[in-house]
Amino acid sequence: EVQLVESGGDLVKPGGSLTLSCAASGFTFNNAWMNWVRQAPGKGLEWVGRIKSKSDGGTTDYVAPVKGRFTISRDDSKSTLFLQMNNLKTEDTAVYYCLPDGGNPWGQGTLVTVSS
Amino acid sequence: DVVMTQSPLSLPVSLGQPASISCRSSQSLVHRSGNTYLNWFQQRPGQSPRRLIYMVSNRDSGVPDRFSGSGSGTDFTLKISRVEAEDVGVYYCMQGTHWPKTFGQGTKVEIK
């Protein structure tokens, strides 16, 4: 069974940093393009970024609001995806989900709250 | 970015009645591979989203056959043939053809 477990969410002050993790199991992680998607409280879904598999170059892409502040990385030996978030803004407050490129399945998400 | 526009945004439906959600994209979703990467997701209250339909019309495992997807190019539809109480939630279309992937605003389905 494919499982994704996100962790690392916390309350952080504006301008602060945080790193999220996503532990994957039940599929060949190193072959998968992986993504982060977020959902602000009471709002819709927004793609944050993706990382390709190493065999496809391992490159990353981000949406404009997070480019230059967020970094996605992966540790294939541990089937773990990371999202490093710097210079956090109040508008980054959201539940963050990791998921494979096809959009299935979703984990439970981890809540990041940016507030002074 | 490709803009995904859903309608209606709110859909009150009586139990056992059909429901239909429209999703229109600002650009064609036909990929150079020939595939169309249009997915539908359901988010029940208090839960994470789950994918219902992938590549326009393919139901995910475990999804009841009362859910169906159709469409092509820039115009897509999710239909529920007979709404049940467990179908209450928000439904999102999402395009995966162009980067960045984008979602529609969501359609809230509730029981009338």
Kindly report, residue by residue over B29-87, the tens digit of the pLDDT. Answer: 999 999 999 999 999 999 999 999 999 999 999 999 999 999 999 999 999 999 999 99
| pLDDT value, residue A102 | 85
CA distance B89 to B8: 14
Q: Number of Cβ pairs closer than 8 Å across A and B? A: 47
Nearest CA in chain B to A95: B48
**Alpha-carbon torsion, ordered B24, B27, B32, B36, to 10 deg:** 0
Of residues A103 and B85, more confidently modeled: B85
8-state DSSP, B101? P
Q: What are the helix and strand counts (H, E) for chain B?
A: 0, 11
Taking the C-alpha atoms of residue A40 and residue A60, their distance in angstroms, rounded to an integer, is 23
Give B94's pLDDT tier (boundaries 50, 70, 90): very high
Q: Mark yes or no for CB contact B96/A103 under 8 Å.
A: yes
In this complex, which of B48, B51, B106 lies closest to A107 when CB atoms are compared?
Answer: B48
Residues listed for chain B: 112
Contact A102 B54 (CB under 8 A): yes
Q: What is the CA radius of gyration of chain B?
A: 13
* Closest residue of chain A to B108, computed from CA coordinates: A44
Query: How many CA atoms are closer than 13 Å to the CA of A86, on its beta-carbon side?
Result: 6
Looking at beta carbons, which residues of chain A come within 8 Å of B99?
Answer: 50, 61
pLDDT for A89: 98
C-alpha distance from residue A5 to each of A8, A97, B9, B16 (Å)? 10, 9, 31, 36
SS3 B51: strand
> What's the token pair of residue B90?
């928000």
The confidence score (pLDDT) of residue A103 equals 87
Cβ distance of B92 and A105 shorter than 8 Å: no
Decide: A6 and A97 in contact? Cβ < 8 Å: yes
Collect all residues of chain B within an 8 Å Cβ-Cβ radius of residue A104: 50-51, 54, 60
What is the predicted pLDDT for the residue at A3? Answer: 95
